[in-house]
Structure 1
Amino acid sequence: MAGVPQSWGSYKGMSSDNITGLILALSSSFFIGASFIVKKKGLKKAGASGIRAGVGGYSYLYEPLWWVGMITMIVGEIANFAAYAFAPAILVTPLGALSIIISAALAHIILREKLHVFGVLGCVLCVVGSTTIVLHAPQEREIESVKEVWDLATEPAFLFYAATIIAAALILVFHFIPQYGQTHIMVPIGVCSLVGSLSVMSVKALGIALKLTFSGMNQLIYPQTWAFAIVVAICVITQMNYLNKALDTFNTAVVSPIYYVMFTSLTILASVIMFKDWDRQSPSQIVTEMCGFVTILSGTFLLHKTKDLSDGLSPSQSMRLPKHANENGFSHEDIPLKCQESSRSP
């Protein structure tokens, strides 16, 4: 039909590939959301008999329940990776927000973790903001070889982004984690999200390489493929390490949405820089994405402040109630020393 954009045709109905991608994306959200809960229970069990992950321990590696959660997350990530092979990102990416709802619901039922009403509102704002961004993000460009991805990754703009991300992550790890890792949720989650944006770009490259290899064009002979594989391995190990620290220290219902928001936002930014998506964006898309970022920041602020609230009490009142602080995801060590001393005094 004359005058109708060709892209509109993809929204008139769902193909069998899109339905397959939808099912895979929904399955991915369930597995990933559940994995947060299983891993948290494993971390708690391991922390009871060893050094907690939140203070640098790795006893959880000997805990079978943690490995069940880890395997569950891997299954979810594989399903998510496969979903992108069948359906467009505009369909798959927003469904990742469902893992937040699943994680929060299971945390309330299984872990008995309570989320303040403002935390619920923060979750809603985060999901709305993230969905707004991914729904209005430009379509990804077609890539036909792993060398093409390598060329994009080694251009000055993305090299500057990657250097900035690595520098920021190193500053968080060596300066802020030792001082604020136990009290500021944004520190460990920041490391996970920063590194995660680089890992996704490498995962995309590996996905392209595997897809072309299975179609008869062997990409495993190129050193770029193995370079991307090494980057993925380093980034994933780093992400898992600091995500475990965050889960062991803070409320799961708060960790999950903040991680999703920061990870999604930085991944979209990395994709825009690497694949030059701004060339295909209209002014209305840019304005809508800015509104989405404002919504995300509002939700993140509410979630960050929720950890100071307990049953409607003010932050100063909550600090005088160690038990309530524990219910909101903080350990006894997170309470100031003076408060602990006053609680022991007659």
Structure 2
Amino acid sequence: MPGQTTFWIGHILALPTRCVFIGSSFIVKKMGLIKAASNGKRAATGGHSYLFEPFWWLGMISMIGGEIANFAAYAFAPAILVTPLGALSIIFSSVLAHFILKERLHIFGVLGCALCMVGSTTIVLHAPHEKDIHSVKEVWELATEPGFLVYICVVAVAVCVLIFRFVKSHGQKNMMVYIGICSLIGSITVMGVKAVGIALKLTFEGMNQFIFFETWLFTVVVIGCCLTQINYLNKALDTFNTAVVSPVYYVMFTSFTIVASVIMFKEWAKQDASQIATELCGFVTILSGTFLLHRTKDMGNRPSEVHSSSDPLQCPDSTKTSQTSEI
């Protein structure tokens, strides 16, 4: 564990950014996507008209500002503690979606969110602590060990299968396709962000880390992964209810990030059977909440609305339905 000072610096950076900047960015970007859908080809079908919408760019600026501070947080606190603080953005995003986008959660959707939050909190409270990392070289050694290389290969294969096999056939019918891509890639992004964050921190302290090729390699990985995440997150927001996308994305992203962190830093070896069992219960709770959110997203809609929401290609009617559909 880092010292108490850096521990609290990381949390102070992560708390407001995740809650305000990143939470609001989902809503503002969705507003831009809705406007773009009425003026050109939708993002869900490969269109990029949203690039000409000021609201979308305002949302991106908000997200970038939040991620910059969140990026700094990873340099001061363990990823396994910083990442789960994204739960606050779900609450903030859901409140804004309720009042601004008129996207309301059904009672079972609220229960699903609660289960996700309880499960995530359980995992965080019982997750092993990440050891201190003092140089990019140390991160590189951990990233090139067999266990994490296997994880990277599994993620790469899963992402390729989702992109080339399921995006066209199921992407606009099942949000887990888009969110799965974002979450899997996101777990790799966080490990890269952790490395670059440490490099910047040490560089500012007088130990230049940018003389090492590993630092630049991690930087390229972060940029590539972030661009891919933005692309598929846009598709998810353009197709599905924001009140559903936000919590499910948070849960999957956090879960994969915790798995990646545990594999990379090997804290699992320090845990006893009780801690492992508690974490497994947390994962089961998260899966239950995610399933409930996904399966009840159309509850409360009239039959005609449910039918329309299943066909997101109908525009602009489908956009209107997406805004008013309930979980």
Same fold (TM over 0.5): yes
Distance of aligned partners of 1:264 and 1:296 in 2 relative to their CA distance in 1, 3 Å threshold:
same
TM-score (norm 1): 0.85
Structure 2 counterparts to residues 116-135 of structure 1, below 5 A: 116-135=106-125
Contact 2:173 2:310 in 1 (8 A): no
Q: Does 1:286 align with 2:267?
A: no
Contact 1:94 1:135 in 2 (8 A): no
Match of 1:194 in 2: 184
Match of 1:26 in 2: 15
TM-score (norm 2): 0.90
Q: Does 1:223 align with 2:213?
A: yes
Structure 2 counterparts to residues 88-237 of structure 1, below 5 A: 92-237=82-227
> Which SS does the other structure have where 1:96 is aligned?
helix
Between 1 and 2, higher relative CO (CA 8 Å, sep ≥ 6) is seen in 2
CA deviations on 1:237-295 (whole Å, 9 max, x unpaired) are 00000000000000000000000000000000001111111122222211111010010
Q: Does 1:37 align with 2:38?
A: no
CA deviations on 1:289-344 (whole Å, 9 max, x unpaired) are 10100100000000011223125xxxxxx4x313x666x7963649xxxxxxxxxx
Q: Does 1:261 align with 2:257?
A: no
Match of 2:73 in 1: 83
Contact 2:172 2:239 in 1 (8 A): yes
How far 1:92 sits from its partner (Å)?
A: 3.7
Distance of aligned partners of 1:103 and 1:110 in 2 relative to their CA distance in 1, 3 Å threshold:
same
How far 1:85 sits from its partner (Å)?
A: 4.1
2-structure distance, mates of 1:302, 1:285: 26
Matched residues, number? 313
Match of 1:321 in 2: 304
Structure 2 counterparts to residues 326-345 of structure 1, below 5 A: 331=312, 333=314
> 180-189 or 281-290: which moved more?
281-290
The two structures, once aligned, show a CA RMSD in angstroms of: 2.1
Match of 2:265 in 1: 275
2-structure distance, mates of 1:203, 1:225: 10
> Which SS does the other structure have where 1:49 is aligned?
coil
Between the two proteins, what is the percent identity of the paired residues?
65
Letter in 2 for 1:331: P
> 91-100 or 135-144: which moved more?
91-100
CA deviations on 1:114-165 (whole Å, 9 max, x unpaired) are 2111011001111111111122111111112111111111111111110110
Distance of aligned partners of 1:141 and 1:21 in 2 relative to their CA distance in 1, 3 Å threshold:
closer
CA deviations on 1:33-55 (whole Å, 9 max, x unpaired) are 10000000001111110110011
* Structure 2: stretches of 5+ with no match in the other structure: 316-327
How far 1:56 sits from its partner (Å)?
A: 1.0
* Structure 1: stretches of 5+ with no match in the other structure: 1-6, 312-317, 335-346
Letter in 1 for 2:130: E
How far 1:25 sits from its partner (Å)?
A: 2.3
Contact 2:83 2:257 in 1 (8 A): no
Distance of aligned partners of 1:275 and 1:89 in 2 relative to their CA distance in 1, 3 Å threshold:
closer
2-structure distance, mates of 1:225, 1:130: 31
